[in-house]
Amino acid sequence: MKKSYILAVLLVIIAVVLLFQTGNATSEYANFSKAAETGDKVQLVGTYVKDKPTVYDPLTDPNYFSFFLEDLSGTEREVVLLMGKPQDFEMSESIVLTGRMQDERFIASDIQMKCPSKYKDEEEMIKNLTES
């Protein structure tokens, strides 16, 4: 076989492998019940429950942060984040967690927070000025 054919076949194999890996990495959001059913690593979206206790003691364990989250279906569960408490956590509008259910708790290895825009107040002020 010619070297160009071998190279073309290798490139196709690499492309297929990358395509499958990318397909597995992207997933739809789950809720607590779906995460418990599958037992797989999922992405879960919800909001921080401010009136329930949070646990973070960086002197004891800087990579343990526990809080309660309400998923999109309204179910509240305890979440254990295996990393430090993110800055401005309490100000987040919504939270996306990556992890899996373990018993009645969601064990998260990654977090993404949607925080309110710092320009939101300025936008409202400009809107009010233009309406006057």
Q: Are 69 and 98 in contact (CB under 8 A)?
A: no
Q: In this predicted structure, what is the pLDDT of residue 16? A: 82
Q: In this predicted structure, what is the pLDDT of residue 11? A: 84
Return the DSSP state at 99: E
Whole-Å CA distances, 53 to 77, 80, 103, 107: 12, 12, 19, 17
Choose the CATH number for 28-114 among 3.90.1150.10, 3.20.20.80, 2.40.50.140, 3.40.50.300: 2.40.50.140
Domain boundaries, the chain: 28-114
Give the DSSP per-residue string, 32-93: HHHHHHH-S-EEEEEEE-TTS--B--TTT-TT-EEEEEEETTS-EEEEEESSPPPTTGGG-S
pTM of the model: 0.69
Strand, helix or coil at 107?
A: strand
Q: In this predicted structure, what is the pLDDT of residue 4? A: 82
Secondary structure string (H, E, C) spanning 13-27: HHHHHHHHHHHHHCC
2 CB burial (10 A radius; 0-12, 13-18, 19+): exposed
Q: In this predicted structure, what is the pLDDT of residue 91? A: 87
Q: In this predicted structure, what is the pLDDT of residue 101? A: 94
Q: In this predicted structure, what is the pLDDT of residue 71? A: 94
Q: In this predicted structure, what is the pLDDT of residue 127? A: 66
Averaged in consecutive runs of 10 residues, what is the pLDDT profile of the chain (132 residues)?
A: 80 81 64 90 94 94 95 95 92 92 94 76 66 62
Distance CA 81, CA 110 (A): 7
